[in-house]
């Protein structure tokens, strides 16, 4: 079974995010960058299927040279190969442009299943996976929390958690799946795995897709407005309620 896992490098969710003074992007000085947490679960899903059916797990990412660090995390977990796509303007490309780049590369690879994280923790867009499925002409199931592949590796049975219940879908392979963090518990890279990952070659290709250049671009990032300090009302219950109601009517304008 040939499995392709899409990977993205993102800022650690616990790291303080600073925007560049000109708003052109995130200031990466001293910023801890990691593999997107949802992509760790996607990688783990691919590795478990490889253990069950055999085959290969290939990681693919698009971005600057530093993205190789995220790919090496997946290689240390046990992935077989990794590919990085670079090119002018990729960092400023929109989600559709990124999906086009990934789709062009995946079409050249044997794939029975393409797995992505449900979303990336830097923008929470959840767009690239579904767009990628459309561009590849694959059936898709998004945000899955349970995965079973039949013995013949021709059909996947997936569970999606929806409001008030669980949606169960049967998806013919090849297909594209995006995964929830509740799907599995990613394995820790072993020391031998880390050492092997350092020596593995990461294939690099350059995107010349003109559609990416034509895609919409990120023009500016703006930090959210600072929250005002809270007010403490020190009074008996009747006066406190009156002050709160007055505030909600006159200041907050919600009543």
Predicted confidence at residue 208, as pLDDT, reads 67
Instruction: Taking residues 161-179, report their average pLDDT.
Output: 95
| Statement: residue 73 has pLDDT above 60 | yes
Instruction: Taking residues 88-106, report their average pLDDT.
Output: 86
pLDDT class for 110, splitting at 50, 70, 90? very high
Instruction: Taking residues 188-192, report their average pLDDT.
Output: 90
Predicted confidence at residue 209, as pLDDT, reads 64
Of 64-78, 84-98, 192-206, the least confident? 84-98
| Statement: residue 213 has pLDDT above 60 | no
| Statement: residue 80 has pLDDT above 90 | yes
| Statement: residue 30 has pLDDT above 90 | no
> Domain 2-214 classified CATH 3.40.50.620?
yes
Predicted confidence at residue 215, as pLDDT, reads 64
> How large a percentage of the chain has pLDDT more than 90?
62
Q: What is the mean pLDDT of the chain?
A: 90
Q: Which range has the top average pLDDT, 20-24, 114-118, 206-210?
A: 114-118
Predicted confidence at residue 212, as pLDDT, reads 63
Predicted confidence at residue 81, as pLDDT, reads 96
Total-model pTM: 0.85
> What is d(CA 196, CA 178) in angstroms, rounded to the nearest whole number?
28
pLDDT class for 47, splitting at 50, 70, 90? very high
Predicted confidence at residue 214, as pLDDT, reads 56
Domain with CATH 3.40.50.620 in the chain: 2-214
> What is d(CA 246, CA 255) in angstroms, rounded to the nearest whole number?
9
Predicted confidence at residue 182, as pLDDT, reads 94
Buried b (16+ CB within 10 A) or exposed e, 115-128: bbbbbbbeeeebbb
| Statement: residue 74 has pLDDT above 70 | yes
Instruction: Taking residues 191-216, report their average pLDDT.
Output: 80
pLDDT class for 111, splitting at 50, 70, 90? very high
Instruction: Taking residues 128-150, report their average pLDDT.
Output: 96
Instruction: Taking residues 225-248, report their average pLDDT.
Output: 84
């Amino acid at each position: 079974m040939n499995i392709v896992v899409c990977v993205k490098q993102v800022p650690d969710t616990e790291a303080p995010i600073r925007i560049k003074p000109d708003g052109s992007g995130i200031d990466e000085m001293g910023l801890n960058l990691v593999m997107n947490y949802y992509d760790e679960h996607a990688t783990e899903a691919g590795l478990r299927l490889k253990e069950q059916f055999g085959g290969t797990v290939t990681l693919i990412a698009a971005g600057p040279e530093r993205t190789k660090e995220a790919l090496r995390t997946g290689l240390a977990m046990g992935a077989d190969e990794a590919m990085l796509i670079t090119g002018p303007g990729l960092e400023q490309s929109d989600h559709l442009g990124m999906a086009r780049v990934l789709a062009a590369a995946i079409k050249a690879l044997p794939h029975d299943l393409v797995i992505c994280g449900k979303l990336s923790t830097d923008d929470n867009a959840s767009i690239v996976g579904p767009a990628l499925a459309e561009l590849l002409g694959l059936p898709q199931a998004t945000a899955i929390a349970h995965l079973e592949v039949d013995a013949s590796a021709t059909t996947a049975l997936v569970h999606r958690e929806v409001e008030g219940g669980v949606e169960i879908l049967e998806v013919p392979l090849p297909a594209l799946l995006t995964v929830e963090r509740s799907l599995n518990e990613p394995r820790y890279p072993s020391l031998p795995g880390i050492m092997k990952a350092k020596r593995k070659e990461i294939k690099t290709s350059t995107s010349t897709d003109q559609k990416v250049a034509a895609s919409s671009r990120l023009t500016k990032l703006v930090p959210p407005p600072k929250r005002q300090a809270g007010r403490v009302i020190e009074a008996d219950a009747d006066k406190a309620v009156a002050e709160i109601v007055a505030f909600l009517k006159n200041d907050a304008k919600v009543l």
